[in-house]
Structure 1
Amino acid sequence: MSSDLHAASFGAAAEAYERGRPPYPPEAVTWAVPSRARRVLDLGAGTGKLTRALLAAGFDVDAVEPSAPMRDQLAVSAAGAAIFEGTGESVPLPDASVDAIVCAQAWHWVDPARAVPEMARVLRPGGTLSLIWNIRDHTEPWVAALDDVLHRHTRQEIDTAPPVGTPFSEPERAEFSWRHPLNRAELLDMVASRSYVILLPETDRQALFDSVLTVLDQHNLGDSFEMPYVTRCTRAQLP
């Protein structure tokens, strides 16, 4: 299936996305956005997982999201942000209008050849572009078993240390390890919000959920537990 189809699928599971996806650790937000910044663009804002953290840090936030159902969730969860329909290739903001751009869990859906010039257009001179991904920590045995189940249907290889390119500086990298508390229902919501799971036939989706619960039982996990994550960050600066 095309990446466009997968990218467009998230609106069908906006509520599950909000319930099941993890937030971002504060230290990653601090690293990604310079303290001198005032206005920040949250690109591919989804339901506002990162938007809320940016607002809590005191930034003025423009949140750009292509999916209408996601924007509906965003309007409720991050009402302090200015919300726009748009994409990484077409941002509905003026030239040199933001001090920093953060794209969390979404850069792999954009066309960098078109998105990088658009980021440079929207940023003020000296502005920062940061890319963030939450990655499950596969060094924990039950997480490795969970991913084996999830990857029976697809194995999406995401470059979490991508190049950025001209006119940006050479990128810097950082990683932050942390743990996210959740319960079984929230884990199933996380699984249900994956693009390839949204597109599965219902019988296959239910079989996948059953397999996920079997992993939890096999590893003696109760109703509440913690998901270990590594948050991988890239940042580059505009001259």
Structure 2
Amino acid sequence: MAEIPSLPRRAFTVDAARRTDLASAFQSGADSYDKIRPSYPEQALDFTLQSQPKTVVDIGCGSGIFTEQLAARGLEVSAVDPSADMLRVLAERLPQVVRTCAPGEDTGLPENAFDLVTYAQAWHWVDHPKASAEAARLLRNDGWLTLLWNQLDVTIPWVHRLARIMHAGDVHRPELEPPLGGQFGKPEHGIWHWSMELDFAQIVELTQSRSYYRRASERTRAKVEGNLAWYWMEHLGYTAEAKVQVPYLTHAWRARRRTRR
């Protein structure tokens, strides 16, 4: 992977107070989030479902973008998220899915009930030791935990600068192994490159779906949007209406739950 000097060599290290503050940005605005956030490549679904699970709980499910893809593969899916607004949108698209409004560290779901636990775009929002313990509690012996992220492909210089202007906080080094509890074995990694066609209005919408923007003052939001307009139209030379293929990547980690003794 190309060297990315200004991306941290450590990730998942936000302190609890800051993490809670940023995560609170997603208690509302689920419709706009759902409209602009992308789904995941089919190869990432294949990677997630390699063990041929039948039951899965998607934790930090948000508006149900990944939940819907799991359900489309014929799994019995449950969904967990701390935002009632996100679950409202999920219920509209997937009324058959059992929904629980709870944090990933304490879902309240029955133990030994699932073959698979997934976190799509959400592992950086939880206390990792507690969330690992809860995932292990939910899983049957030899069940799997899979963590996925879609992110701008910042190995490409112009995309890297765009991500910094957007304050895309979920962009980190894909090769960094996420922290897991001792209940799980050594995780396996997968990565896939793709692109998403966006115009300037959609770039702004994508920025507005980020926790940094949602928690910022009106002055800061105006500055971010002004910087985006300069970069997109003056520096890169695109018109506002131009449809541009914006490079993305999806990276995932999967780990098997160790057998209980």
TM-score, normalised with respect to structure 2: 0.84
* 5+ residue gaps, structure 1: none
- Give the structure 2 partner of residue 44 of structure 1: 60
Write the mapping of 1:119-134 to structure 2, written as runs, cut at 5 A: 119-134=135-150
Q: How many Å apart are 1:35 and its aligned residue?
A: 5.1
Distance 1:111 1:95 in 2: 19
Distance 1:38 1:56 in 2: 12
TM-score, normalised with respect to structure 1: 0.91
- Give the structure 2 partner of residue 25 of structure 1: 41
Q: Which amino acid aligns with 2:26?
A: F
- Give the structure 1 partner of residue 237 of structure 2: 220
Equivalent position to 1:137, from 149, 153, 177: 153
- Give the structure 2 partner of residue 234 of structure 1: 253
Write the mapping of 1:4-15 to structure 2, written as runs, cut at 5 A: 4-15=20-31
Instruction: Please give the root-mean-square deviation of Cα atoms over the aligned residues, in Å.
Output: 1.9
Q: How many Å apart are 1:102 and its aligned residue?
A: 0.8
Helix, strand or coil: the match of 1:180? strand
Distance 1:225 1:60 in 2: 37
Helix, strand or coil: the match of 2:29? helix
Q: How many Å apart are 1:221 and its aligned residue?
A: 3.1
Given that 1:163 and 1:171 are in contact with CA atoms closer than 8 Å, whether structure 2 keeps it comes out as no
Write the mapping of 1:42-191 to structure 2, written as runs, cut at 5 A: 42-151=58-167, 158=172, 160=174, 161-191=177-207
Q: How many Å apart are 1:157 and its aligned residue?
A: 7.0
Q: Which amino acid aligns with 2:112?
A: A
Structure ranking higher on relative contact order (CA contacts 8 Å, 6+ apart): 1
Q: How many Å apart are 1:155 and its aligned residue?
A: 6.0
Given that 1:33 and 1:130 are in contact with CA atoms closer than 8 Å, whether structure 2 keeps it comes out as no
Given that 1:19 and 1:190 are in contact with CA atoms closer than 8 Å, whether structure 2 keeps it comes out as no
Distance 2:170 2:247 in 1: 19
Paired positions, count: 237
Distance 2:20 2:131 in 1: 15
Distance 1:185 1:40 in 2: 35
From the superposition, tell whether residues 21 and 155 of structure 1 become closer, same or farther in structure 2 (CA, over 3 Å): closer
* 5+ residue gaps, structure 2: 1-16
Query: 1:178-201: CA deviations, max 9, x gaps?
Result: 112233322212101111110111
